[in-house]
Amino acid sequence: MNQKNLRIGAGAGYSGDRIEPAVELAEKGRLDYLVFECLAERTIALAQQRRARNPEEGYDPLLEARMTACLPACAQNGIRVITNMGAANPVAAMNKTASIAARLGISGLKIAAVTGDEVSGQIRDMDLRLMESGEPLGTLRDVLVSANAYLGAEPIVKALEAGADIVITGRVADPALFAAPLIHEFGWSFSDFGRLGKGTVLGHLLECAGQVTGGFFADPGYKEVPNLARLGFPIGIVSADGDFELTKVPGSGGRITLATCKEQLLYEIHDPARYYTPDVVADFTGVRFHQLEEDRIRVTGGSGNPKTGLLKVSVGYLDGFIGEGQMSYGGPGAVRRGQLALDIVRERLGFLGIDTADGQFDLIGVNSLYGPTLPVGEPAEVRARVAVRTADRSVAQKVADEVEALYTNGPAGGGGAVKSVREVMAVQSVLIPAELVRTEIHFQNS
């Protein structure tokens, strides 16, 4: 059992995140672990589509760039890596990572892949209700693309125990990516819900990387963030009892304050006394932040209660198409011309027999974010935006084309048309008993 403090860095907060701060962490963060969280709700369903087209694909599109940039410093400094960049194909991601390491001349790395989160086979015929719509899961049978259970920390801990230097997973609860090294290094029990709760607080604060160091925070005149362009990512320094400090690499941009920590603690949570993960029901209500010095915050008071025994499963399914077009109007009378543009597009779609009940007609600059909720003056420019959902791709195309046709057929001075048609990958959730999920760990040496 390790009793020295553990240093864990957050190298990515989402799939497309910046890579330079992760390199900075690996080189200068004196880390023990570097964690990359790269899997949003829908990302894995899109990855599953890529895997269906090519069995060697389906992992994070930036895996190669991230590993190539970070592995040299990680290998040199003995930093172990944990990531969900495996997405829909952790084994392919493991093999790819091994070949990247070989190309970089890094040998002796043990790389692990965790599988078993893909559960579409197990749940397809179960009598389950979708949490969001309340409909039976069976209604999605023909359009189902993926079903991935949120795994807990256990398979990652097993991979670390087996000596893995890099652990690559698919769908795992985000905080579990961070709790796993604590469980492994400090020898925490999976029934020590108090400490697991603290590990979950750490994971929740770190999982969005730059969002706790001043990203998504600046509001000039109210909330200043120095050197935001060079925003650094956070480091958690954790003691064996589970309390921890948050800091970042000295000289990096951004800041860590009581305010940045409070905003991130409450980000994407509902009842703060019940934050559900596969490992624990964490309680954030006792969490307290103490500023020790500039960019150094001590975090205490996290706790937890026994897990529910249920796992959330994200179900990805195809849900039609969205056709969208936009056009700008400016100068005096811009709002009235923009509104006229929306009105005539709506009327023309009616002529074509296209149902616009499931449609959005916005004036960006006036009402696109909040509808008529907030008062607005006369802006210098507006952008008319039409988006309509339909079951048929060709209908979506007609919607997009009709907005573009405003050039020669609409109000005066419309410019800068863009149009798009995209297939909708929607996501809902079901709960299943945890014992239905069987995880497997695969290894590969570089």
Give the interface with other proteins as residue ranges (CB under 8 A).
41-42, 131-132, 216-217, 219, 222-223, 259, 262-273, 284-289, 301, 319, 322, 358-360, 362, 364, 368-374, 385, 387-389, 424-429
Question: Cα dihedral sign for 35, 204, 47, 160?
Answer: positive
Cα 424 versus chain centre, distance: 18
Question: CA dist 110 to 67, 77, 160, 165, 290, Å?
Answer: 14, 15, 10, 5, 38
We find the least distance from the C-beta atom of residue 411 to other proteins, in angstroms, to be 21
162 near 442, Cβ under 8 Å? no
What is the C-alpha separation between 253 and 215, in angstroms, rounded? 10
Cβ of residue 373: shortest distance to other proteins, in angstroms? 5
DSSP code for 331: S
- Cβ distance to other proteins smaller for residue 143 or 162: 143
Cα separation, 53 vs 39, in Å, equals: 20
Question: CA 382, CA 380: separation in Å to the nearest integer?
Answer: 7
Nearer to other proteins, 102 or 391 (CB): 391
Least distance in angstroms from the C-beta of 271 to other proteins: 6
Q: How far is the CB of 382 from other proteins (least distance, A)?
A: 13
Of 73 and 145, the one with the shorter C-beta distance to other proteins is: 145
Q: How many helices (H) and strands (E) does the chain have?
A: 12, 18
CB nearer to other proteins: pick between 184 and 385: 385
- Output the smallest distance, CB 24 to other proteins, in A: 25
Q: Closer CB to other proteins, residue 186 or residue 244?
A: 244
What 3-state class would DSSP assign to 335?
A: helix
Q: Which is nearer to other proteins, 178 or 276 (CB)?
A: 276
CB closer to other proteins, 190 vs 267: 267
Distance CA 403, CA 406 (A): 5
CA 203 to chain centroid? 13
Q: Say how far apart CA 41 and CA 6 lie, in whole Å.
A: 29
For residues 367 and 375, what is the distance between their CA atoms, to the nearest angstrom?
Answer: 9
Shortest Cβ distance from residue 324 to other proteins (Å)? 8
Smallest separation, CB 97 to other proteins (Å): 29
